Structure 1
Amino acid sequence: MSFTFQILLFSTLPFILALLLLKSWFSSSTSHKNLPPSPPKLPLIGNLHQLGSSPHRALQAMAQTYGPLMLIQLGTVPVLVASSVNAAKEIMKTHDLIFASRPHSNIPNRIFYACKDIAFSQYGEYWRQVKSIAVLHLLSNKRVQSYQHVRDDEMSLMMDKILRADGLVVNLSELLISLTNNVVCRVALGRRYEGREFKKLLERTMELLGCFSVGSYIPSLRWVDQLSGLERKADRVAKEFDEFLEGVLDEHCDKKDDGVEGRDLVDILLEFQRDNSKGFRLERDMIKAIIVDLFTAGTDTTFTSLEWAITELLRNPRAMKELQQEVLEVGQGRSVIAEDDLDKMPYLKAVLKEALRLHIPLPLLVPRESTQDVKLLGYDIQSGTQVLINAWAIARDPSNWEEPEEFRPERFLKSSIDYKGFHFELLPFGAGRRGCPGIQFAMVVNELVLANLVYKFDLALVGEEGLDMSETNGITVHKKCPLLVSATPRS
């Protein structure tokens, strides 16, 4: 050993020892953190292999072993999974601000114009501004009520289609998709877009949002998304949606002012763009992102809720009979059930609550992300942890619900539990700052359509497929087999 090397070694030794002590201190600090229970994980992929095709069911089973608040590893991302009322309440109410942001996600980032929408944008001033526009101007009670004529028109058109089938088999799933799509098109864009290509575009969008992006959880393997064609498909859908929306915006910019009554949601957003007095300017991409948001949230989840509710009624004749008696008493022989009649129907509302409990459209809601370190139910949660609320598991938890797997609407008749985000036993629309702002818009469609269907027709399942309760995979959980029914007009 040379003299020079000895001098170098002894001169750097204190620095090396300091580094080792720091490493030891940080390691000790981490090890002393009280982290939530975690299942064993594999190198690189963590617990990804355990999620399977139905993550909400897999995570429910894991929670039975590791508890209602567990920490799993999806690739390189730590993910906190909440499966109880208390855990959900802590995240969505007590510490709502800390958990109000969204994690970066590859596919939504491509489809929603770098997440300039409401659902996937990160928490901050931009999100506060666009959420405020949605709540005050797009989805307010007054605005939702102003589109009553649209709901009435589309509901009547669907009833006429069923009537013209003259007792033959009706694909009710297809009719419900068309109805919800037409309502959203007319409200958001001012007219219907009924072409098959447009419907397929919406279907492809929802399918992509439900796809697993390897690169979002293992950045070093992002090439897998490229190789599999996932990114290419997302870019193609984004391009097609963009071309469609460019045409819609140009059409709206060129049209004459129809007055306040004739305005659709694009008109309102364009008015905000022109008004610089509010100190926040909506750019063109922002408007398009919000419109895509309205379509994906407004069509898919609404149709899904109706489809499951009708399926459960057909499988439970006693509940169907109870609902029919209620609507007949309220309808009193009139040609239709009007929106003003809906508040007189507690059993109708109970049926929809029970359908939403058993079949939450987004079982894991939209992921959240913690923005700072926080203590949660005694556990240490680090900043940057992704958070999943297993609303599906909470809604089937026997400690919250008697006979949780059974369809029993009457459980809500003497219960104050609602779906508006104040009761954490039932979270189909989320809660807190990131709760869905379109609850009223969705539920008035659900109530109006369901009330009139059972008022005007006796429905019966056709074939064994109708009894199949299998689910599709994706961000929204649909009924796998279409709902095929025979519809006999009630005299």
Structure 2
Amino acid sequence: MGTQPHVALAQLAQVYGPLISLRLGTQLVIVGSSPAAATEILKTHDRHVPHVSYAKSPHRNHVSVGWTYECTEQWKFLRTLCRSELFATKIIETQSHLREKKVDELLNFLRSKEGEMVKIREVVFFSVFNFLGNIFFSKDFIAFDEVGQGGGMSGLIRRIMELWTSPNISDLYPILGRLDLQGLSRKAEECCGKICAAWQGIIRERRERHDGDSRMQRDFLDVLLDNEFTDDQINYLFLIGTSNYL
């Protein structure tokens, strides 16, 4: 399918229709290329279509909301927790001052760069990442000084997304998965470790002094600790949440 598989699939859909099947290696892939087909797959029959969206690492399925393929009790609990502690109307309203602060920081940075070329996508990502960082950990993780440098936290996040989305022969032939022939799994784990190290100290410190009522202003990390989430679960939730904004 070349370097632009989405284009190749769109061309196939024009010939064979909005719902087609392809054999990629040993895997049968169903492709929906219209809003109606997508609705049928992802909404109407989502529980009957295996592996619609899943984490490549099986041991991480139980710590993901959007990338799991099993509607387990753990998944239901995690979904309920996110709905009540992240997406509830009252919670969103209490975060309005934080959103305003991050927008002000973004605008002030852009004003300071008047007359210069700025990658808006990168600047917006910095703002969103710091906004989510404050929701989870009450902390900024990226400074606007990193804009245009291609390194630091933003570089690591982009790198992990490249590794996760790179064509992997193990996806086509699962029997080869343990061999990691392209080294993608190893590189992804190393990159994840570097990213998560940025907030690992915060988690460790919070665990040491956590008693459930010690903080006047609680963040989502406190909620996760109250519910006895492991470091791996916390890391994965934040990492996936932020990478979705790239």
User: Shared topology, TM-score over 0.5?
Assistant: yes
Of 25, 31, 37, which residue of structure 2 is paired with 1:87?
Answer: 37
Partner secondary structure for residue 204 of structure 1: helix
Runs (4+) of structure 1 moved beyond 6 Å? Answer: none
The reply to whether residue 294 of structure 1 matches residue 241 of structure 2 is: yes
Query: Computing the radius of gyration over CA atoms, which structure comes out larger, 1 or 2?
Result: 1
Matches of 1:131 and 1:230, distance apart in 2: 29
Q: Deviations over 1:178-220 (max 9, x none)?
A: 2112111111211101265222221112111211121122124
Q: Residue in 1 aligned with 2:28?
A: 78
* Pairing 1:150-229 to 2, within 5 Å after superposition: 150-194=98-142, 196-222=151-177, 226-229=180-183
Q: CA deviation at 1:101?
A: 5.0
Matches of 2:54 and 2:173, distance apart in 1: 12
Matches of 1:173 and 1:86, distance apart in 2: 30
Matches of 1:149 and 1:236, distance apart in 2: 36
Q: CA deviation at 1:283?
A: 3.6
Q: Residue in 2 aligned with 1:147?
A: 95
Matches of 1:222 and 1:283, distance apart in 2: 26
The reply to whether residue 57 of structure 1 matches residue 14 of structure 2 is: no
Identity %: 24
> CA separation of 1:191/1:104 partners in 2, compared to 1, >3 Å: closer, same or farther?
closer
Matches of 1:133 and 1:101, distance apart in 2: 24
Q: Give unmatched runs, 5+ long, in structure 2.
A: 144-150
Q: Residue in 1 aligned with 2:205?
A: 251
Q: Residue in 1 aligned with 2:65?
A: 118
Q: Residue in 2 aligned with 1:268?
A: 223
Partner secondary structure for residue 118 of structure 2: strand
Matches of 1:152 and 1:118, distance apart in 2: 28
Matches of 2:55 and 2:60, distance apart in 1: 12
Q: Which amino acid aligns with 2:219?
A: D
Q: Residue in 1 aligned with 2:147?
A: none
Q: CA deviation at 1:67?
A: 1.1
Partner secondary structure for residue 93 of structure 1: helix
Q: Give unmatched runs, 5+ long, in structure 1.
A: 1-49, 274-281, 301-491
Q: CA RMSD in A?
A: 2.5
The structure, 1 or 2, with the larger RCO (C-alpha pairs under 8 Å, 6+ apart) is 1
TM-score for both structures, normalised by structure 2:
0.83
Matches of 2:127 and 2:107, distance apart in 1: 10
> CA separation of 1:104/1:156 partners in 2, compared to 1, >3 Å: closer, same or farther?
closer
TM-score for both structures, normalised by structure 1:
0.44
Matches of 2:43 and 2:52, distance apart in 1: 16
Matches of 2:18 and 2:184, distance apart in 1: 33
Partner secondary structure for residue 101 of structure 2: helix
Q: How many aligned residue pairs are there?
A: 235
Matches of 1:250 and 1:212, distance apart in 2: 36
Q: Which has the higher helix share?
A: 2
> CA separation of 1:101/1:226 partners in 2, compared to 1, >3 Å: closer, same or farther?
closer
